[in-house]
Structures are given as C-alpha cells and as structure tokens.
Structure 1
Amino acid sequence: MKLFTLGVLLLACWLVWPASTVSAHSQLLETAPEAGARLAQSPEEIRLTFNEAVETKVGGIELLDSLSRQLKVSAIEANKDRTSIAVKPANLDEGVYTVTYRIISEDGHPVNGSYVFVVGNPPAAKDAATFDLHTQLGHAGHGSTASALTSSELILYAVRFFYYATLLLAAGVMLWKSITRFEGASLQLSKTWSLGTVRAFLFGSILYVFFHAREVMEDEPLSEWLKLLSRTSVGMAWLATVVLSLIGFLVLRGGRTVSVIWAVLLIAVESWSGHAEANNPKVLTVGLDFVHLTAAALWAGGLALLLALWIKDRKEAGRFAVRFSGGAVLSLAALVLTGVGMTLLFLPKLSYIWLTSWGVMLTIKAGLTLLVIIVGALLRMRVRRGDLPSATILRVDGVLMALIIVITSLFTYVSPLPANEPVSYHKMGAEMHVSLRVTPNVPGDNKITLKIWLPDVTGAPKSVVLRFRSEQHEDAPIDIPLEAYDDQEIEAFDGYGKYAYLASGPYIPYPGQWTAEIRVMDKNDNELVETTSFRNY
C-alpha cells in the first residue's frame, strides 16, 4: 500500500512539473532551396533542418509541380542526429514547385507545412485573358459585357462561319485537285469549283478582317488601324490571309505543286493566328493545329467535290468516291488525334471542359465528328461493294460538315479556360475590419495586399499571419511573407487604426480551391481569425 501511495505521488509530481522542463515541439529552422527562392537551375537536393530530431520512417517530403502533380524524389536521407532531412529530385525544368512536408517529431508531434520555389524563368500561367484579342492589343475597354447576343455579334459570327467554310473549301479543293487526276467532266468541274472557292474565300477573308478589325479598333483613328495590320502579329496574319486570297487567282493557272504550296501557306497562316499560337509549346500547338486544319480541309473540300460530281455525273462521282472514302478515313483519324492532343495542351485539366462554353461546344463538335465517322464508314462500305454513293448519306455528311464548321466558327472565338477573377474580400467587425486582395489570382506570381483595422484602444497588432491552404493539401498550408507598408489609400474608419501589409511572389503555386486564413494577435494575446475561400484555374 505504501509503494502504491508513493507511486501515485511521483506520478502527480511529474504531471505538475513546470512546463519549462519539457522540450518544445520540432520547428522548421531552415530550408534549401529557401522559401520563395528563384533558382537558375534545378537544385541537387531539397533539405529541411529542424531544431530537434525527427522521425524519418514516418511521413515524408513531397514535391509538386505547377499543376499539383506529385514528382518523383529519392528516399529521405538524414544526418546523424536526425535534425536535417533531404530528398533528391530529378532534374527540374523551368517552373514553380511546392515542397510539402509531413514529419513526426521525436516526441510524437506532427510537423507539416509547405513552401514554394521557382526554377528558371517559367512562362506565366495560362489565363483566359491569353485568348482575349482586345487585351492583347491594349483595348480591354472595348467589347460588350451584355450576356445576350447583339445584332453586330450575330453578324460577326455569320462572317466567321462564312470565312472558315470558304477557307476549308478553297484549301481542300486545291489539295484534291493536286493529288487526284480528274478527266473529262470531272476535270472541268474541279476547275469551276477551284475558281468558285477562291472567289468566295477572297470575299470571306475581306469580310473577316474588316469586321474583326472594326470590333478591336472601335473608336480608334485610321492611323491605329494601319498599326494593327503592320505592327501586330494578329494584324499581319490577317493581312497575309487577304494577300494569299488574291494570289489564289494566279495559283489557278499554275501546276499541282503551286496549288499545294498555296494551300499549305493558307492553312499555316490560319494556324498561327488562333488559340494554338497563344499556347506553349508553340511549335507543338501550332503544328497540331496545322495538321488538324489540313485534315479538315481535305475532308470538307473532298466532300464538296463529291456532292457536286454526284449531282452532275453519277459515274464520275463513283470513281472519285473511291479516292475520297480512303482519304476521308485518314482525315477523320487525324482530326480526332490532333483534336485530343490540342485539348490536352490547351487545358491544364480535362475537368475544365465542363466549366466553359468552349468545352461544351467542343463536346458537341466531338459528337458530330463521331456521327461523321459513322456516316463515312457507311459510305466506304457502299463504295467497296461497287455501289454509287447514297444520296441520303451524302446529304447527311454535308449537313454534319456545315454544323461542324458552325461550331468551329463559334468556339475558336471563345477562351478554352475559365476566367480567373481577382480576389477582393472585405469584412467589417467590431473587433477587426479586414480587406484582402489577390491580383490577378492566377497560378504563379500574384500581388497580395492585406489591410487590418483594429480599434484605437487595442493598438497595433502583435503579429499578423496570412496563410493559404489548398483544398488538395489542407494539412500543408503556405505562409505568406508579409511586409508592412505605408498605404496611401483613404480608407479611414473612426476609432480604428489601419495596418497594411504587402507580398508578391509565386505563393499560389498551382490552380485549385484555396482558403485564405488571416490570424491577427493583438497586444493582449487575443487571436482574431478570418477566413475566405477563392478559386483559380
């Protein structure tokens, strides 16, 4: 009984022993690379140093890229006293990287967090503004903000449809004329269609350039129009398109090689002036778009010739159908493969397809393309049996072609990405007013402004912490290194003092849903906490 009583007393003494004798939890002292560091080349290792020993068998260090994808790193290595741990990454390309750590201290307490570093000079994150022609040319104030289509917008879309239809038909007919030996009635028809499509394309290209330039250069003097066409890449592409449409009449008198070169140049100029040119890597995106448009031109031009021949001479239509059905299969395969490839390059995540009208129209286009493949298979089956093309099949194929061109003329004018909007959070309260701004709110570099108003009786804050938490990695927050600055904006509240802080850097390293956590400690050690959520793409 005495031993039991003595044990109870010793346990009680241990429980009430002064807290100063208990070692503090592990704390992160140093990182390499440092938080916010901008490195010229890939680091050889990522090292974390703590104030005391940590467990190396539990937890770990993760390295995330700018899309929050986990990258491969070596197993954890520790120094002798286990106060410093490191992993070795593979050779890192230019980009924004996040180090996320979850470590168990020797006394069993978790230690976790995140920080960001940059390698090289990575390109800015994709943003919907990338595809906004007004913004590119410095005319962001133009354009209607109304949700309903205006009459001028309807005209613009009609012009775009006519332009894309004539471009594909002119280039496609030229290509088929060069790779197919037409004779007799089919030869005369191919010449007639070549001339007709070139004329139509000249008219379409002039309308296209005029209406688009008018939209972009609204209220601008004529001198600015000349600068648009002579000093901007998009303006020079438009001008080159009109020049090529004029040259097309001379090409009609040339041989097959000249026709192919003209069609290739026409498609190349169009590839360089759309969404593909605004993406990276440009060589790949523009190359895929070029193949995509070439395949579309071969299919559209060939189908138009087949329909015209079927109306004029069924036997000639049957002969050409043999060549067209084989070329159509290859064209449709190229359309599907390049379309998938460009979608993967345009969008950081496939889930973005459901967030924009661009994605909805792309889905509709994919469905129409699937129907075209089915119709093309039926046509090829008839041709291989030696039958003439079916009128119904040709009509359906023609209608599907028109619908696809309509969709293309619409969704090439729409951004593939959801639009990011700056974060602007304000909240009034008796104990504290808060204002948080994050601009432009894109993955990568942002300007972050935090303003705090505290009652005069409370005085200046003892500490202010701004922390961003990702929905994907909630237990690994990123602390924003705030610096106090002298704010000149007039935002005074009677009885309150204002305290402003600023940060700038890659503290939103990847897209997603984020929570901003604001923690303010006043002089009496009272902690005031505010949170707000925001999203970027």
Structure 2
Amino acid sequence: MMSPARPARWHLTSLWGPVAALLVALAIVLGGVSPASAHAELVSTDPEEGAVVETAPAEVTLTFNEPVRLTSQQIAVYDAEGDPVDASAGANGPAVTVTLPGAADLADGTYVVSWNVLSGDGHPISGALTFSVGAPSASVSAPPAPETSSWAVEVVRDVVTVASLVGLLLAAGLAIFLARVLPGSWDGTDTRRRLRRLLTYAAGAGAAGFVLQVPVAAVYGQGLELVDVVSAFDAGSVLNELVSAGLVLLGLGMVVRGARTAPPDPTDRALLLAGALVALLGPSLVGHTRAFAPAPVLVAWDVIHVTAGAVWLGGLVGLVLSLRALAGREVLAAQTLSRFSTIAAFALVVVSAAGAFLAWRILGSWAGFVETAYGWLLLAKIGIALVVAAIGGWNRWRTLPAVQAAAGFGDRERAAAAVTRTVRVEAVLLVALLGVTGFLVNQSPRPAPVTVASGATGVEAATIGDDLRVLAVMDPRRTGTNTLLVQVQDAAGDPYDPPTAPTVEVRSDELDLGAVAVRSIAAGTYRGELVVPRVGEWDVQVSIRLSRFDNPVTTVTLTIRP
C-alpha cells in the first residue's frame, strides 16, 4: 500500500524546468534579438547627398554596410524635370557603382539617382541620392517609385517564415529532448511514439517552409508577384536561401532518421544531436551576422540563439507529452526535469551575455522601439515574455505549494496535471512568440529611407537688368557655416558670364554680414562661404557691372532654418 504521507519529491524539481525555461525565454526576447533581422544600410555616397559639384562625375558610388546585389530593377538617374539620364550600374561587395557615360554633356542642375538593391537576407531596399552640377535646380521632380510586391506576396512570405521557424525549432528541440533529456532507461513506448510522430510532422513543416522560401524570396526580392516565380527565378540571387534550405533538409532528415519509438542508442543519439545542429545552422546563412565584426563570433551567436529557442520549445512540448506518463515515477521524472533545467540554464547564460548589446546595436537607438515596425514587434515580443513571467510567478507561489502538499497517487496525479497545464500554456505562448518573430525578421529595424519628393530645393530667383536673372541658394540652410551659390542666367535659362564677377552682400533686418567673397566655379556660377548666425530671412544682394554705366542690382531672399 502506498503511504499517503509520502511527499512527491520529484515535483519539487519539476518547477526548475519551467522556471529555467522562463528565464531563457525572457533572455531571448528582452536581450537576444538575432542580427539576422537587420537589413543593409547605405553608409556613404560619392558625391555626398545634396552636394554641389563643379563638373558632372563620371561615376556615382553608393557604399553599404554589407555586400548587396542588384535586382532586375535597374538603378536609374533622372534630371530635375524627371527625364532619364543614360547610366549603368554594377555591384561589387558593399559598393554599387553607377556609371554616367555622358557626364561631360550633362547640363547644370540637380540630378537624382534612384537605387534599389538586395540585402544579404533577400530583402529589397531602395532610396535616392540627390546631387547638383554647377548649381541646384529651382525644383526637382520625384523619380518613379520602385516596383514592390503586393501584400499577397508579403503575407505568403510571412506565413512561410512562421511555419519554417515553428517547424524547425520544434523538430530540433524535440530531437534534443529525446537525445539528452528523456531518460534512456525508460521505455515509454506510447510517449516516445507520440514524440516521434510530432517530430516528424514538425520536420516536414520546417523542411517545406524553407524550400518554399526560395521561390518566394526570388519574387519578393525583385518586387514581382507569385505568378512570376518561374520567369523571375535566378539561382544566383537566392544562393544563400538554397544553401540554407539544403542544410535544413539534411539536418531534419538526420533527425527523423534518429527518432525511434525505442530509447535511442549511441548512433541514434548522435544522429539526433548532429541533425539538430546542422538544421539550426541553416537560418544563419540568410542573416546579417556576417556584416558585423567579428563575423565568426556573431554567426556562432546566431546559431546559439535559435538553438536556445529550440531547446525551450522542444523541451516544453516534450514535458507536456511526458509529465503525465511519468506521474508516480519519481526518479525518472526528477531525472527528466533536472536534465531539462540544466540545458535551459546553460542556454540562459549564453544568450543573456550578448543579447542586450545586440538588441541595442541593431535598433541603433532606444527611439527605434517606437519609430519602426521592427521596434513595435519587438515590444510585442517583450509583452508576451511578461505574460510568461506572470505564469512563472503563479507557478512559484500557487502551483509549487500545491505540489509540495501532494500525497498519495491521486494528489500526485492532480499535481502533475497542474504542472502540465502551465507548461502547456508556456508552450502555446512560445508558438505565439515565434509567430511574432516570423514577422519580425521580415521587418527592417531602421526607418524607411528618405526618398526625393517633388518640390522646392531652396533655390530662389530674381530678375536683374532687362534680360538676366539671378539664382541663389545656401547649403545646408541652417545656422552656422553655409555655402552660398549664385548663378547668373540669360533669357534662355543658360548660364551667363558677366564681364566681371558679381558683388554679393548678405544682410537681414537686424544684421549686416557685408560682402561675401565669391569665386567662379563654372560658367556664370559663383561660390562663397559665410557664417549665418541666426535663423530667419536673409537678403542676398547681387550687383553686376555690365558696362561703365550699367550696374543693375537685385535681391534674393533666402530662409535659414533652425
């Protein structure tokens, strides 16, 4: 007869698994944002954004923070009126070079380089670079917007990503659970059969998801639709996705081969662990960890990050399917839960060490939490983690006392059921967490790039004399040092060289900055430097000596912003 006073000691250990898993989850969510979510960024251009150059450059260089690829949408150059300019482009690592074969024939004015490239993870990014030759144009027309895939493609992409992550992490996590957590001395044929069946289904979903990601990435990266998948497929543009899918398929195949209804022997255990590791290497190949230094360390961190998620998800699901069957088997249950606790605690230490730093580095600033869709999704992950923390508190102060007071088979059975329910809720929350992560990895952690809009460029004009006019602009139009550009044009709008350089003076209602020394930089175009001490309207007075008796004067009013 079973003594009713005998406490179920294994239940004291049972909470260490969920508690350690909770800590791992919080570390992953609050600190461990994988660098695989960060997209390429434009870090420099030549000429610089808004620059005014004396002669048209033969090449324009765009430099990104990681290697990029060109898409089927060509990089295009437009003049101020929106008319295309002959150009060609090529990519070499992080640099994209735009060649202007007719640079010598480009007229003075503003030009826009509209670019569209592919990040290392297959995400298209776009933007525009504006520069001026001689002097800026009075207004600029916005270039055509790059083609983007419809919402249907984005929905399919997100669904496939979520299915891939859940399937991969669940299959790999169950493999680790079978190999390292569930005691080999316990046959548990029915439980092992259920675990193997679930592992097989999860592996199938993960493998199918990663295979489908290849054609979806091909059309999404080119801004096309699903019906274009055959014509748009280019193995070179999705090489990383192909290798990633290959690793996942290989690893999950090994996992399915090693999962049996009987306790695993050394060969099966090796297949389970090696297959899980190979499969979990796949996502790092389509991420951006290679763009951060030191790349090998951060790629390893990326693998550890997804491995920790697999340990938690697979462990919790494994516990849900095993705890009830282990009720009354104190030694085996304690061994199972202590092993899971040890693995989860190790994952906690590793993930916590680098998580907070990487989250801050990817977002770039704390403001990124509320200024980007990426930040809001990250806040959603944190919110789910807080719910999991509340469940952990419930376990500590309500479930644990009930477990400690359990006596007799019936009480132990009910206590095991209570623990199983809370673990099951945590597993469901992790699936939700992975769903948010699936959308998160498809979002850029940076604000959308600034595009050129039609409108004023800060250039103001005034007539001078009978058939001339003067254009003037300051750059950057803010307090402090500014570059003043003045251009004289004839009635046809072409630059006009007066007999002598114009005299330029700058003043406001309260301050007179006096004459500004200007020098000729191109036909009819003059440049000078000055320091503007305050915001507001400033009058630029230009006088031109056309002859001994003809010295017309005009004033152009420019606005200096804060």
Q: For 1:177 and 1:166, how far apart are their aligned partners in 2?
A: 16
Residue 426 of structure 2 corresponds to which residue in structure 1?
Answer: 397
Report 1:269-418 matches (<5 A). 269-277=282-290, 282-310=295-323, 312-315=325-328, 318-319=333-334, 320-332=336-348, 334-335=350-351, 338-376=354-392, 379=395, 388=416, 390-418=419-447
Matches within 5 A, 1:185-196: 185=188, 187-196=192-201
> What's the TM-score once normalised by structure 1's chain length?
0.55
2:210 counterpart letter in structure 1: S
Q: Which amino acid aligns with 2:169?
A: L
Matched with 2:159 is 158
Q: CA RMSD in A?
A: 4.7
Deviation of 1:520 after TM superposition, in Å, equals 5.1
- Provide the C-alpha distance between the structure 2 equivalents of 1:257 and 1:141, rounded to a whole number of angstroms: 48
The runs of 5 or more residues in structure 2 that have no matched partner are 1-42, 45-60, 67-115, 128-144, 261-266, 405-414, 497-519, 523-534, 544-552
Which of residues 239, 257, 273 is equivalent to 1:232? 239
Distance change (3 Å), C-alpha of 1:252 and 1:380: farther
- TM-score w.r.t. length of structure 2: 0.53
Please tell me whether residue 522 in structure 1 is matched to residue 542 in structure 2: yes
Deviations 1:480-522 (A, max 9, x none): 597989xxxxxx99886679999xxxxxxxxxxxx99998553
Letter in 1 for 2:439: L
Alignment of 1:107-118 (within 5 A): none
Q: Counterpart of 1:467 in structure 2: which amino acid?
A: P
Query: What letter corresponds to residue 463 of structure 2 in structure 1?
Result: P
Helix, strand or coil for the counterpart of 2:124?
A: helix
- TM-superposed CA distance for 1:312, in Å, is 4.5
How many residues are paired up?
A: 364
The structural deviation recorded for 1:347 is 2.0
Bigger mean CA offset, 348-357 vs 336-345: 336-345
Please state how far the C-alpha of 1:166 moved relative to its aligned partner.
Answer: 0.6
Question: What displacement does 1:394 show?
Answer: 1.9
Q: Secondary structure at the match of 1:522?
A: strand
The residue that corresponds to 2:85 in the other structure is none
Q: How does 1:122-271 map to 2 (within 5 A)?
A: 124=64, 130=119, 133-135=122-124, 141-144=147-150, 150-180=151-181, 181-182=183-184, 183-185=186-188, 187-216=192-221, 218=224, 220=228, 222=230, 224-228=232-236, 232-252=239-259, 254-271=267-284
From 420, 425, 440, give the equivalent of 2:449. Answer: 420
Task: Classify the secondary structure of the residue corresponding to 2:367.
Answer: helix
CA distance in 2, matches of 1:478, 1:165: 55
Q: Specify the SS of the correspondent of 2:559.
A: strand
CA displacement 1:32-51 (0-9 Å, x = unmatched): xxxxxxxxxxxxxxxxxxxx
Change (3 A) 1:164 1:478: farther
Letter in 1 for 2:208: F
SS at match of 1:350: coil
Matches for 1:485-500 after TM superposition, within 5 Å: none
> Which residue identity does 2:476 align to in structure 1?
R
Q: Which amino acid aligns with 1:167?
A: L
User: Shift in Å at residue 174 of structure 1?
Assistant: 1.9
Cα distance change on mapping 1:167 and 1:465 into 2, 3 Å: same
Rounded Cα–Cα distance in structure 1 between residues aligned with 2:452 and 2:293? 26
Q: How far is 1:276 from its partner?
A: 3.8
Counterpart contact for 1:164–1:409, Cα < 8 Å: yes
Match of 2:475 among 466, 482, 485: 466
Report the counterpart of residue 15 of structure 2 in structure 1: none
How far apart are 1:310 and its partner, in Å?
3.2
How far off its partner does 1:409 sit? Answer: 0.8
Amino acid at match of 2:287: G
C-alpha distance 517-333 of structure 1, shift in aligned 2 (>3 A): farther
C-alpha displacement of 1:140: 5.4
Matches within 5 A, 1:73-112: none
Hey, what's the Cα distance between the residues in 2 that align with 1:266 and 1:412? 18
2:473, 2:484 within 8 Å by CA — same for their partners in 1?
no
Work out which structure has the larger RCO, using CA pairs closer than 8 Å and 6 or more positions apart in sequence: 2
Structure 2 letter corresponding to 1:159: V
Question: Compared with structure 1, are the counterparts of its residues 303 and 463 closer, same or farther at alpha carbon in structure 2 (3 Å cutoff)?
Answer: same
Hey, what's the Cα distance between the residues in 1 that align with 2:487 and 2:65? Answer: 28
Q: C-alpha separation between the residues in 1 aligned to 2:346 and 2:536?
A: 51
Kindly state the Cα deviation for residue 377 of structure 1 after the two structures are TM-superposed: 6.0
Distance 1:518 1:290, change over 3 A: farther
Structure 1 residues 293 and 132, CA gap change in structure 2 (3 angstroms): closer
Q: Give the 3-state SS of the residue equivalent to 2:364 in structure 1.
A: coil
Distance 1:242 1:411, change over 3 A: same
Identify the residue that residue 31 of structure 1 maps to in structure 2.
none
Separation of aligned partners in 2, 1:518 and 1:347: 39
Paired residue secondary structure (2:447): coil
3-state secondary structure, aligned to 2:359: helix
Supply the AA of the counterpart residue of 1:403: A
| 1:143–1:482 CA distance, 2 compared to 1 (3 A) | farther
Query: 1-side partners of 2:177 and 2:485: how far apart?
Result: 64
Amino acid at match of 1:255: D
Deviation at 1:350, TM superposition (A): 1.6
Q: Say if 1:227 and 1:209 are closer, same or farther in 2 by CA, change over 3 A.
A: closer
Counterpart contact for 1:325–1:380, Cα < 8 Å: no
Q: Is contact 1:267-1:290 (8 Å) kept? A: yes
Report SS of the residue matched to 1:419: coil
2:433 aligned partner, one-letter code: I
| Aligned residues with identical type, % of pairs | 19
Decide whether aligned partners of structure 1 residues 252 and 132 sit closer, same or farther in structure 2, where only a CA change above 3 A counts: closer
Q: Distance in 1 between matches of 2:126 and 2:473?
A: 40
Distance 1:132 1:187 in 2: 37
User: How many angstroms does 1:383 deviate by?
Assistant: 7.2
| Separation in structure 1 between the aligned mates of residue 270 and residue 313 of structure 2, nearest angstrom | 21
Q: Which runs of 5+ in 1 are unaligned?
A: 1-94, 97-120, 145-149, 428-434, 437-450, 486-491, 503-514
